């Protein structure tokens, strides 16, 4: 496996994990807020916002890597 393949794998796994956490927190908070008159606490809202930011950052890192590889000179 080349260094580029390892980096792509690492970035893909990070993006998948971040997206999964964001999705799980979102679903959990929707269920919790549906069962509560008060809705989400500020702490829970901040946790979801942080998970969303991490998801976006991981997606951007993955996209940036893919773009750099598309335009990188071939090793052939």
CA trace torsion 40, 46, 48, 50 (10° rounding):
180
Residue 39: predicted pLDDT: 72
Q: Enter the pTM of the model.
A: 0.77
In whole numbers, what is the pLDDT of the chain averaged over residues? Answer: 87
Whether 58 shows a pLDDT value over 80: the answer reads yes
Residue 54: predicted pLDDT: 96
The CA distance from 68 to 75, in Å, is 14
Who has greater pLDDT, 12 or 75?
12
Who has greater pLDDT, 16 or 35?
16
Domains of the chain by residue range: 7-70
């Amino acid at each position: 496996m080349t260094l580029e393949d390892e980096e792509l794998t690492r970035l893909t796994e990070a993006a998948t994990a971040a997206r999964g956490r964001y999705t799980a927190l979102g679903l959990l908070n929707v269920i919790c807020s549906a069962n509560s008159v008060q809705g989400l606490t500020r702490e829970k809202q901040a946790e979801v916002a942080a998970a969303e930011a991490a998801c976006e950052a991981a997606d951007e890192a993955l996209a940036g890597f893919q773009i750099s590889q598309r335009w990188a000179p071939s090793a052939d």
